[in-house]
A and B are shown apart, each in its own frame.
Chain A
Amino acid sequence: MASREVIQYETPLSRAFRWFSAVFLAFYVVWTVLPLFIMFMSSFKDLLEAFKLPAVGDWAGVTVFFEFTPTTKHYYELFARLGFTTYLFNSLVAAGGSAVVSVILGSMCAYSLSRIDFKGKGDLFFWIISTRMAPVVAVMVPLYWIFRQLDLVGTLPGLILAYTTFNLPFAIWILKGFFDNVPYAIEEAQMIDGATRFQALRAILPLVAPGIGAFVVLCILFAWNDYLFAAIIGSGGAKTLPAATRELVQPQNIQWGQIMAAGVVTTLPMMFLGLVIRKYLVTGLTMGAVKE
């Protein structure tokens, strides 16, 4: 997507702008990375070392940040003693499960919505997307109530279903855009050659496959990062990483070292996934309204 070069004349104003923007960019990159860096470093520090600060205004004292004996004990404790292996597994199953369910059901629905017209289709479509926009806190009470009746609270299937409340409408909305871009003519041609409708659908799936793959990842990202559902519907039998991280705030000690380690464990996989689907991010995060 290379844009063509535009001949620009250097004026004092534009030179000033360039300098200013370079400085600002540098500043902004530091501002973005610093909290992550501090989180990462603090996860290897003993509590008292993590609390070391220079005196106010003592800029040279910044070096105390690097004065520590690295320890992996926080990570060790998370996994060996505090059950983070289970929580990691729960996060994987809940996020992955809901992503798969959402994308399978969602693409079936999106495909159909893309192919036919019927009365009230606009309203149906709006209803679908409005379930995605609903404030989580607002729907939590009745949802909890219903899940309780069905004994889904504190179970992984329950959490998968809870995440489906926001992932499924998202998947339908985005995937419909994908299918819209595949002409019906391809399927027609297939069917003239004797394929069933279902086979015809299968024939066009490869065309949308990369998009679908990217949105499985996005759904995982949304579900993985959720806290409210995990805290209220999941925790207990299906505690995920964010809920478990919150629990490290214990009445008698806030386990900062472990919290930072848990933060790293929760964040790193998602950053990696984010990189993998980098080029679908804008489309995904703007619900398909903007593309790169």
Chain B
Amino acid sequence: MFSIPKNAVYRRINRRKFLELGGGAATALGAGGLTLGLGSTITRSKVQAASTDDAKWKQYAGSKLVFMSENTPPSFAIRDNIKAFTDKTGIEVTILTDDLPVVQQKVGIDLRGGKADYVLNYVQDKPIGSPFADFYADLTPMFGDETLPQDPEGYGDDAWFTNFLSACGRFYQKGKIIALPYDAAIACTFYRQDLFEANSKDFEAEYGYRLEFNKDSTWQNVIDMATFFKKAKESGKDVPYGYAQHQGSFAWTTQLDIQRFLFANGRWMDWNIDDVYGSKEPGKTNWGDEQSVFMLQKFKALADVCHPDNLANGTLELNTVYQSGNIAMQTQYHEFAASIEDESKSRAAGGKTAYAPCPKGDPKWIKNGGEPVNGTNCGIGGIGINGNASDDLKRAAYIFAIWSVSQDNQYNVLKGLGGTPTRKSVLEREDVKKAAQRPTTMPNALTFDAVYNFGIKDPNFVLGPKIPNANEYHSILAGEVQKCLSNELSPEEAAKSIQTQLDELNGAG
């Protein structure tokens, strides 16, 4: 069909033209490919256990790596400071940052496709770690490798804050560690001290106790406070709403919001699985049991006295609402303190906000015999290495990974852009200790007492559930609970519907 036409004249002209055009295009495309391609390269010089530290750091000088990360402060700070790493090691690292859902998409397809374009990944514990744990390299063999540089503080559980290494590093099997804690978002309570003080009398007259928030305050107290503020606002007083949930469009943070509430009351969990390791076959869910239905009723009761935009505000939007002074209290991740204390963006800055642990469960709400705790959960972003990469690539990536989570680096991020350290030793620095009190130069440090000394410790902390279908679980849970909050389903119906869908999801129907 496509025989060469006999018309020679046209061929002559056309070929020359074509060659010119084609050549130009090919050069352009080729050059584009070279400068923009994502491929990593490796150059290597041999080192032994006895080599100098400097030689170990420099053994992959000339290599190129790609790190796919979420657009959070540590990555921005490290990107700004990447020259320090290149000077130390001779390795060039390209740091790509994206919105978490996009990171999830790209990392997922990279790992599933057996490719290693992104050698280094931001392993956000549940959304990325749970579904893709099997695709990451086990870091434990490299921890003791004498031919690699090592962090003097090591990588044991003691080096990090309680539970951090488990949260982002351990999935489904003992002994394997897939990521080192890189940054952390731990839930705690932000509340407007100034408003609480101003309204204390009125509140006490109505509820019989002082309007204060501390580690013993319960979710029932939160409902009381939210009700009080809502009523006052609706009667025309110049106060904001009292509280708001994270019920916006990002399903994962919605799930966390629901989980905190249920876990606080008797440590209720979605499945009877190990909280640290999770399970690939979680079996039947606990949704639909008496406790879960009752808790949904309470959750709905809380929603009814929340800020009216409850169902539109996800974590980020909620923080904006708080910044703009339109709510008096929020459960928020401690990494947000920096944005709250920024006077150019926030009306809640300048000593108006106080920080406390998450609210506690109420003994009267507990039907399953468990204890009330200050249910606290987290999103801990680890830095992990793509298991598809070659050994040398993995080793080179490891050098970056341990550097990025070193004490000095984390300290710099905290000081510069308001990161959240994961290494305990950062908190032992004198100026960080001092920063935990106002006036402070590191606003995130204001939360450290509530978070690191209390919230993340057992029995308050919940790590999971780690299941391969984590993302669909988040979506199902968020969808059905939101239907309950908007009166489309009763708490019983919502709990049953969640139960059916989750059991179907995990093949446990």
Chain A directly contacts chain B within the complex, with at least one CB pair under 8 Å: yes
Q: Which of A144, A154, A157, A249 is B99 in contact with, Cβ under 8 Å?
A: A249
* Bound Cα distance from A164 to B5, whole angstroms: 28
Instruction: Assess whether A174 is interfacial by the CB under 8 Å rule.
Output: no
Instruction: Assess whether B352 is interfacial by the CB under 8 Å rule.
Output: no
Instruction: Assess whether B73 is interfacial by the CB under 8 Å rule.
Output: yes
Let me know if A252 and B72 touch, CB within 8 A. yes
Let me know if B109 and A144 touch, CB within 8 A. yes
Let me know if A247 and B97 touch, CB within 8 A. yes
Considering the complex, give the chain B residue whose CB is closest to the CB of A93. B32
Instruction: Assess whether B356 is interfacial by the CB under 8 Å rule.
Output: no
* Bound Cα distance from A60 to B397, whole angstroms: 61
Stretch touching chain B among A13-21, A45-53, A126-134:
A45-53
Instruction: Assess whether B48 is interfacial by the CB under 8 Å rule.
Output: no
Q: Which of A51, A149, A247 is B98 in contact with, Cβ under 8 Å?
A: A247
Instruction: Give the Cβ gap from B187 to chain A, nearest Cβ, in Å.
Output: 14
Stretch touching chain B among A29-37, A211-219, A228-236, A269-277:
A228-236
Let me know if A247 and B71 touch, CB within 8 A. yes
Let me know if B109 and A155 touch, CB within 8 A. no
Let me know if A155 and B347 touch, CB within 8 A. no
**Which positions 167-221 of chain A face chain B at CB distance < 8 Å?**
196-199
Interface string of B338-371 (1 = CB under 8 A from A): 1100001101000000000000000000000000
Give chain B residues whose Cβ lies under 8 Å from the Cβ of A236: 38, 68, 96, 98, 106
Let me know if B109 and A196 touch, CB within 8 A. no
Let me know if A250 and B71 touch, CB within 8 A. yes
Let me know if B38 and A153 touch, CB within 8 A. yes
Let me know if B73 and A252 touch, CB within 8 A. yes
* Bound Cα distance from A246 to B98, whole angstroms: 9
Known: A198-B14, A253-B339, A253-B345. A154 touches B100 (CB 8 A): no
Let me know if B317 and A48 touch, CB within 8 A. no
Let me know if A237 and B338 touch, CB within 8 A. no
Give chain B residues whose Cβ lies under 8 Å from the Cβ of A144: 109
* Bound Cα distance from A100 to B344, whole angstroms: 46
**Which positions 187-203 of chain B face chain A at CB distance < 8 Å?**
none
**Which positions 1-52 of chain B face chain A at CB distance < 8 Å?**
5, 7, 9-10, 13-14, 29, 32-33, 36-39
Give chain B residues whose Cβ lies under 8 Å from the Cβ of A48: 344-345, 347
Let me know if A252 and B338 touch, CB within 8 A. yes
Give chain B residues whose Cβ lies under 8 Å from the Cβ of A28: none
* Bound Cα distance from A236 to B68, whole angstroms: 9
Give chain B residues whose Cβ lies under 8 Å from the Cβ of A110: none
* Bound Cα distance from A14 to B267, whole angstroms: 72
Let me know if B113 and A232 touch, CB within 8 A. no
Let me know if A46 and B102 touch, CB within 8 A. no
* Bound Cα distance from A241 to B190, whole angstroms: 35
Give chain A residues whose Cβ lies under 8 Å from the Cβ of B33: 151, 155, 157
**Which positions 215-230 of chain B face chain A at CB distance < 8 Å?**
none
Instruction: Assess whether B301 is interfacial by the CB under 8 Å rule.
Output: no
Considering the complex, give the chain A residue whose CB is closest to the CB of B379. A251
Instruction: Give the Cβ gap from A134 to chain B, nearest Cβ, in Å.
Output: 19
Interface string of B89-100 (1 = CB under 8 A from A): 000000011111
Instruction: Give the Cβ gap from B74 to chain A, nearest Cβ, in Å.
Output: 11
Could you name 6 residue pairs across A and B whose Cβ atoms are closer than 8 Å?
A: A144-B109, A148-B110, A155-B37, A198-B14, A236-B38, A237-B96
| A-B contacts besides A198-B9, A246-B99, 17 pairs, CB < 8 Å | A48-B345, A145-B113, A151-B33, A151-B37, A151-B117, A155-B33, A155-B36, A157-B29, A157-B32, A198-B13, A198-B14, A232-B102, A249-B316, A251-B315, A253-B316, A253-B319, A253-B345
Q: Could you list which residues of chain B lie within 8 angstroms of chain A, going by C-beta atoms?
A: 5, 7, 9-10, 13-14, 29, 32-33, 36-39, 68, 70-73, 96-100, 102, 105-106, 109-110, 113, 115, 117, 185, 315-317, 319-320, 324, 335-336, 338-339, 344-345, 347, 418
